[in-house]
Amino acid sequence: MAAKVRIGTCSWADEALSKHWYPKGTPAGERLRYYAEHFDTVEVDSTYYRLPADEMVGRWAERTPEGFVMHVKAFGVMTRHPVKAEQLPPDLRGEAPLDHRGRVERPSREFRAEIFRRFREALEPLRVAGKLGGILFQFPPYVVPKPSSLDYLEWAQEQMDGYDMLVEFRHRVWHEEDQRDATLAFLEQHGMTHVVVDAPKVEAKNVPITVLALTSPITYVRFHGRNADTWNVRGKSAAARFDYLYSEEELEEWVDPLRELAEKAEQAYVLFNNNNYSRVGGRELAQAPTNAEMLRSLLEKRGVPVTAPPAAARSGSR
């Protein structure tokens, strides 16, 4: 049987959702509960910027219903991104090798291993509750196919100790024609999930290519929007880079590909990372949840198995 497609957004706390999707006056502490009435999965991206605290993760587990799935983005040190010293736990800042801009530079494997350990331990409340999905490893564009990159992936998998690794490469060379088969074969050999992406249709090196493939029992699709004008503009925020509202026609393009991916998978997830808002017909709409609900409706109409909104499922209605 085909896996039912679960649809959600990358973060439940972005400013666009807070201002334009949640009912006015919803306290910050109640937003996750409200989100979980409408979607049964989410991607936590705040953990890319700082290691999570287990107390906070415990609250996530408490505020979500049984069966809810949270995917968690790996902390920047874990994916070889430039991280400033102040983003580290206070007790590790003195040990970190820094460059002239105060960013962690070429830390030892031992230092990274401690980061991995703390990351895993912080996620225990979600794992124990059965609500932890995969760990998103989004690698920067300067991580390219070479032996040291593959060695690091293998080492990182050892550190994750059985957790599902969702791997997104940001340099397009990983999925260009002469490298694609080797990339997918490596991920499949190691049981890592290839992250399928929808992104601007340009050929910049840091814009990933859409490759419809499975390398594990999980299919994981991230919609980044198609805003080619802001993707590589220096100084722009994430909200500007991913400022894009998909049209129904654009999402319709994904119905058949998602059907095919889900038919081969045991678990299927679609997460929207377009995290701004758009003015449509005099209304201000948060892009990610608007498109998530739009895609769910399109899949339902075309007979693609998709999970119902949790509140509707609990009431027995669709």
**Tens digit of pLDDT for each residue in 96-106?**
999 999 999 99
State the pLDDT at residue 203. 86
State the pLDDT at residue 317. 41
Could you tell me the maximum CA-CA distance found in the chain, to the nearest angstrom? 59
Q: What is the DSSP string of 108-133?
A: -HHHHHHHHHHHHHHTHHHHHTT-EE
Q: How far apart are CA 93 and CA 194, in angstroms?
A: 33
State the pLDDT at residue 78. 98
How do beta strands 283-286 and 277-280 pair? antiparallel
Q: Which of 280, 260, 276 is nearest to 268 (CA)?
A: 260
Model-level pTM? Answer: 0.95
**Tens digit of pLDDT for each residue in 199-219?**
999 889 999 999 999 999 999
Assess whether pLDDT exceeds 90 at residue 197.
yes
Assess whether pLDDT exceeds 90 at residue 114.
yes
Q: How confident is the model at residue 236 (pLDDT cuts 50, 70, 90)?
A: low
State the pLDDT at residue 232. 83
Q: How far apart are CA 135 and CA 86, in angstroms?
A: 23
Grouping H, G, I as helix, E, B as strand and the rest as coil, residue 90 is: helix
Average pLDDT over residues 268-288: 95
Return the CATH fold of 5-315: TIM Barrel (3.20.20)
Q: Which of 23, 62, 60 is nearest to 44 (CA)?
A: 60
Average pLDDT over residues 289-307: 97
Question: Would you state the structure tokens that stand for residue 46, as one six-digit string?
Answer: 């705040």
Q: How confident is the model at residue 17 (pLDDT cuts 50, 70, 90)?
A: very high
State the pLDDT at residue 239. 74
Domain ranges across the chain: 5-315
